[in-house]
Amino acid sequence: MGFCDDLKSLCQQITQREKALFEAVDTNDDQKIQQIRAELDSLYRQFIFM
């Protein structure tokens, strides 16, 4: 798997987690919101590193 494939996969993961965050906000699920934010933080760091 090359760099572009890895980047594409990472972007897809970010998009999925961002959509999940919107859904969690809509339901006011604070615990899930915090969990997804932590996951996104990690994914964003990976994106910046790439």
Query: Which residue type occupies 21?
Result: L
Mind listing the pLDDT tens digit for each residue in 2-36? 656 799 999 999 999 999 999 999 999 999 999 99
Give the pLDDT score at 3: 59
Domain edges within the chain: 3-49
Q: What is the DSSP string of the chain?
A: --HHHHHHHHHHHHHHHHHHHHHHHHTT-HHHHHHHHHHHHHHHHHHHH-
